[in-house]
Amino acid sequence: MADDRRTRNVWVSGLKHLIDSQAQKRQRNLIRDTNWILSHVRCEDKDKSNTMNKSECKKFLAYSLNVELSEDSFEKNFQKVNKNGDGNLTPNEFIEFFHILTRRKDLYEIMQKYVKNGDDQSIETICMTTNELLHFLQTVQNQKLLNYPSKQSKDNFTVQSIMTRKQVQELINEYEPNIELQKKSLLSLDGFRNLLSSDDFCIMQPWCSRRTYQDMTR
């Protein structure tokens, strides 16, 4: 309990700052990951060729990311992203390589359960339609959305149930990184990961974490 109003206000301001900062981090997760990868590519590019050869990739994975791969797995995925077959990855190719290695197989297995013919779809091609995502969010997640009357303030909001395909399409537009899939109203594994990692889908319900429940006036 705060001793006075000034101390109370300092604590409330600090808590709001921490909550807002964490929310911004989650929302910018995809961009931050890309920048982080590119910064490491530059550090590991010893010959300044703006590419990474197999030796540099293996060293980076082993010593910087603590990723252990079999030789067969490394070669298979390396060749998949090395478009011209010269044995060197450009920054964009390495980002694709990294994303392949860090795909969430647990989320892939979840998608398989709620996608039509999910067992027949690969981890690269699996997608959810708006109807499938709506069913998942309603019956499995019992998910709620936050509606802000003003974009300038995060303090005032209402909690809404997900009821319509329009709401689901808005989520796809926000979290699906592939523009073509957005236009087709499909959510890929990467989009599904972005969705579940976002602030509004945090396991600690936002409408509880963004408000101070203790009586700070006494």
Picking from 136, 35, 164, the residue whose alpha carbon sits closest to that of residue 91 is 35
Is 104-209 in the same CATH topology as 1-102? yes
Q: Which residues, listed in sequence order, are joined to residue 175 by a DSSP beta bridge?
A: none
DSSP strands (E only) in the chain: 52-53, 88-89, 127-129, 144-147, 158-161, 186-188
Q: What is the pLDDT along the chain (218 residues), one digit of tens a residue?
A: 567 777 777 777 777 766 655 554 444 454 456 677 777 777 777 777 888 888 888 888 888 777 777 888 889 889 989 988 888 888 888 888 887 877 788 899 999 999 998 888 888 889 999 999 999 988 888 777 766 666 555 566 666 778 889 989 999 998 888 899 999 999 999 889 888 887 677 665 555 555 555 555 65
The residue extents of the domains of the chain are 1-102, 104-209
- Round to whole Å and give the CA distance between 96 and 44: 17
Counting every residue written for the chain, the total comes to 218
CA distances (Å), 145 to each of 164, 169, 202, in order? 12, 13, 11
Picking from 121, 127, 41, the residue whose alpha carbon sits closest to that of residue 88 is 41
Query: What would the DSSP string read from start to end of 171-197?
Result: HHHHH---HHHHHTTEEEHHHHHHHHH
- CATH of the domain spanning 104-209: 1.10.238.10
Beta carbons within 8 Å of 42's beta carbon, 6+ residues apart: none
Superfamily of domain 1-102: EF-hand (1.10.238.10)
Tell me, yes or no, if the pTM score tops 0.75: no
